[in-house]
Amino acid sequence: MTIRSHIMAMALAAPLALGAQAAVALTVEFDGTPGALPYSEGGFAFTQTTGAQASVIDNGNYQFLTLGISPIPSAGDTVEVVRSGGGTFTFDAFVLRGPGAATTAYDVVDIFGLVGGSVTEQLLGVTATGAYAADALATGFSAPVDTVRIVLSSVRDEAVWFDAMTFDAPDSAVPAPAALPLLAAGLGGFALLRRRAPQA
């Protein structure tokens, strides 16, 4: 590649860098103020859309989101997660805990990813594997969504606890200072080449 080609590539890359978007990984640990939903943390908002059981709980060891402890929740109780300012994101992973004895039967939840109100991703039949076990689970969601819907599909002896929910959300455009040196180098190179070009 010639020097002229290098300079042209730098100048053309700068505007692309100015508008580039980077994904930022965010983990919601539910370490804010406990209480009934709605709840916000890390740029995400959690809202109960069906039922009245979901809360952020502090049990003295850690805090977590549960779809119901008392009174007894009902199948169909639903929590939705969106970005506080709107927009899409990916839901990558979460930790699921189950209280009680090792033989306890835990509630079962279904998790859906939606875009414009239509389901595009789903993870069905999720439940805890043991007493206070921290099951790190991947969602398997492959595309961005604008809403995550968590639905209590089966009520059993004990609720399940959500923790460490990991999302990837597009960051704002790369700030101008990061790309300006590239643009300046390209424009300076053009000026130098023009000065060195033989005069007719």
pLDDT in tens, 114-129: 999 999 999 999 998 8
Instruction: Please state, in angstroms and as integers, the Cα–Cα distance from residue 4 to each residue in 109, 188, 191, following that order.
Output: 59, 12, 11
User: For the domain that residue 66 is a member of, what is the CATH number?
Assistant: 2.60.120.430
Our CA angle for 137, 117, 112, nearest 5°, is: 15
Averaged over 55-59, what is the pLDDT?
92
> Burial, 126: exposed, middle or buried (Cβ in 10 Å; 0-12, 13-18, 19+)?
buried
Within a domain: 190: no
| 69 beta partners | none
- Report residue 195 as tokens: 């000065």
Alpha helices in the chain (DSSP H): 3-19, 176-196
pTM of the model: 0.75
Within a domain: 166: yes
Least confident of 8-12, 48-52, 97-101, 135-139: 8-12
Within a domain: 108: yes
Provide the residue range defining the domain that includes 165: 22-172
Within a domain: 32: yes
What is the tally of structural domains in the chain? 1
β pairing state of 118-126 and 161-173: unpaired
Within a domain: 16: no
Higher pLDDT, 123 or 185: 123
Within a domain: 7: no
pLDDT in tens, 78-90: 999 999 999 999 9
